[in-house]
Amino acid sequence: MDTNHGVHFFLDDYQFARLWNHPDKYIPLLQKFAYILTPDFSLYRDYPKAIQLFQHYRKHWLGSYMQLHGIRVVSTIGWSDPESWEWCFDGEPKNSVVAVSSIGTQKDETSRRLFLQGYAEMENRLDPILVLFWGNIPDTLQDRTNIRHMGYTMDEKFSLIKAEKKIKKGLDLCR
């Protein structure tokens, strides 16, 4: 087990669709890490509600399946807009460690506002003890003492391309 590293899925969905399609092929590889974040399937605002619900379901199903195989799982919390709040926090742990990402949420004023509103709702409903935060932390959240910045800015993304290729090669070996 690599006790110093975890695995996140803050990538384009197609990059980890194979995990959903063939989870048993990847369990042995994922078991080698200290923890795994639940997959961050996209919840775009323009997706129909049924698709967003399915994305939420897939995240939870894979998280549960990984736990059944002895993997330490950290819940990734995601939302799209206030309508998604009626279900997007369902099944998420309260008073626990969770993960969020601001990647792709800061490109325009509407996206930034919806991210911050959803973040506030997540804090209100889940009261996390620690938030593992990928991407740029918005200025209004900088003073939070329960946020641990995990990095992953665009500059870091490009430096990770070689590492992702190695991971992909490792995932391919599990097929």
CA distances from 75 to 18, 39, 136, 143 (A): 19, 9, 19, 23
Q: What b/e readout covers 42-79, taking b as 16+ CB neighbours within 10 angstroms?
A: ebeeeeeeeebbebbebbeebbeebeeeebebbbbbbb
Expressed as residue numbers, the domain containing 30 is 2-173
- Residue 33 pLDDT: 94
- Residue 146 pLDDT: 95
Q: How many domains are contained in the chain?
A: 1
For residue 69, give both structure tokens: 């195989």
- Residue 106 pLDDT: 87
- Residue 109 pLDDT: 95
Q: What is the mean pLDDT of each run of 10 residues along the chain (175 residues)?
A: 80 93 96 95 96 97 98 97 97 96 92 97 97 94 94 50 50 46
- Sign for the pseudo-dihedral over CA of 132, 55, 22, 24: positive
| Residue owning tokens 């460690």 | 97
The residues with which 76 forms a beta bridge, in sequence order, are 99
- Residue 165 pLDDT: 52
